[in-house]
Structure 1
Amino acid sequence: MEVFLIATSVVALAEIGDKTQLLAFMLAAKFRRPWPIVWGILVATLVNHAAAGWLGGFVTHWIGPTALRWILGLSFIAMAAWMLVPDKLDDDDAPKPGHGVFVSTVIAFFLAEMGDKTQIATVALAARTPDALAAVVAGTTVGMMLANVPAVLLGDKLAHRIPVKLVHGIAAGIFAVLGVVTLIWGSEI
């Protein structure tokens, strides 16, 4: 349960102001059909984070525990720094015309999440706790939904009221603590 809660918290905070949350706002404004967008986000996130979690678990079999501890610890610290860099939505992440709302959302979200902070966090969390892969994927998916469903349902009303810098600072702090703890104790906590 602890792994699930950490994964949920880290990703929910990391997602605030992230390009995929900006994409959720854009999809909601463009299509004005929230439920196909929400379902599309869920499907894209499950597929993307399951693959990322699998990769994280797979990595643990190829890298020794000492090297893995250093890679993960430094990765979490790098994620902390990356959290402090504002995100913007690229033109490549915009939905392509000709698809329905659900398919457009699945494709756009899946592609936007490739190499994104939350996907890399999923890889790192799964590598840190390979025995809890399901909890990591479930937690990161719930975190994505906690951040993006309100973005779809409330749109611009919510966007201007969230202190994005503060939320990113908190997420950066959590990533930094995870990094330091991993460097000192490995995955034994």
Structure 2
Amino acid sequence: MEAFLTSTAVVTLAEIGDKTQLLAIVLATQFRRPVPIILGIFAATVANHFLAALVGSQVASILDGQWFRYIVAISFIAMAAWTLIPDKLDDDMESKPARFGAFLTTTIAFFLVEMGDKTQIATVALGAQFENIFYVTLGTTLGMMLANVPAVFLGHELIKRVPLNVVRMIAALLFLAIGLWLLVQTAGWFG
């Protein structure tokens, strides 16, 4: 259950103001059909985050050792710093006309944009930390949906009203806390 709750919280906060959330807003304004967009976000996220959690879990099982736990902890601390850097959607993505319908366009775009994104990297780290592909994927997918579904429905209004700097700070603090906790656990300072 810890894997699920931590994964949900980390990705929900990290996704606020992320380029995939901006993509959700762009797609919502372009297609004006929320259900296919939401289903496309869900499909892309399940596929992408399952693979990321699988990679993290497999790497953790192969490289199980104290030094690897230090690397995972440091990766969370690095994610804290990365979270403070605002994302922006590439200008050329907004101007391209869609070849396919809302669902397929969203699925493909979200899957590709999520590659190498901080939420995907966080999912790899969470998979390595918890070694539970199912709960990490479930949690990170829920986190993506919690952050992106309101963006689909509320679009630009949401971005105007949510103080993104505060949300970025909270997400960064969460990543930092997880990283520091893992360092403390690995070093054996508290039991």
Amino acid at match of 1:71: I
Amino acid at match of 2:45: T
TM-score, normalisation: structure 1: 0.94
Instruction: Check whether the contact 1:93–1:112 (CA below 8 A) recurs between aligned residues.
Output: no
SS of match in other structure, 1:88 = coil
Structure 1 residues 47, 96: CA separation in 2 closer, same or farther (over 3 Å shift)?
farther
Corresponding residue of 1:134: 134
Misfit runs of 4+, over 6 Å: none
How many angstroms apart in 1 are the aligned matches of 2:98 and 2:18?
23
Corresponding residue of 2:24: 24
Amino acid at match of 2:128: A
How many angstroms apart in 2 are the aligned matches of 1:69 and 1:43?
31
Structure 1 residues 17-64: Cα deviation after superposition (integer angstroms, max 9, x where no partner): 000000000000001011000000000000000000000011012213
Amino acid at match of 1:179: G
How many angstroms apart in 1 are the aligned matches of 2:145 and 2:52?
17
**TM-aligned CA deviation for residue 135 of structure 1:** 0.8
How many angstroms apart in 2 are the aligned matches of 1:81 and 1:114?
19
Give % identity: 55
Amino acid at match of 1:108: A
The 5-angstrom pairing of residues 37-116 of structure 1 reads 37-91=37-91, 97-116=98-117
Amino acid at match of 2:102: V
Amino acid at match of 2:24: A
Amino acid at match of 2:121: I
Structure 1 residues 66-113: Cα deviation after superposition (integer angstroms, max 9, x where no partner): 121111011000000001001011246556621111000000000000
How many angstroms apart in 1 are the aligned matches of 2:136 and 2:97?
31
Structure 1 residues 67, 135: CA separation in 2 closer, same or farther (over 3 Å shift)?
same
Unaligned runs of 5+ in 1: none
How many angstroms apart in 2 are the aligned matches of 1:145 and 1:106?
13
Corresponding residue of 1:2: 2
Structure 1 residues 36, 60: CA separation in 2 closer, same or farther (over 3 Å shift)?
same
**TM-aligned CA deviation for residue 167 of structure 1:** 0.6
How many angstroms apart in 2 are the aligned matches of 1:21 and 1:178?
23
Please say which of residues 156-165 and 92-101 is displaced more in the overlay: 92-101
Instruction: Check whether the contact 1:96–1:104 (CA below 8 A) recurs between aligned residues.
Output: no
Structure 1 residues 111, 93: CA separation in 2 closer, same or farther (over 3 Å shift)?
farther
Please say which of residues 14-23 and 90-99 is displaced more in the overlay: 90-99
SS of match in other structure, 2:161 = coil
How many angstroms apart in 1 are the aligned matches of 2:70 and 2:80?
15
Equivalent pairs counted in the alignment come to 188
Unaligned runs of 5+ in 2: none
TM-score, normalisation: structure 2: 0.93
Amino acid at match of 1:102: F
RMSD over aligned CA atoms reads 1.8
Structure 1 residues 66, 93: CA separation in 2 closer, same or farther (over 3 Å shift)?
farther
How many angstroms apart in 2 are the aligned matches of 1:33 and 1:27?
9
Amino acid at match of 1:100: G
Structure 1 residues 7, 144: CA separation in 2 closer, same or farther (over 3 Å shift)?
same
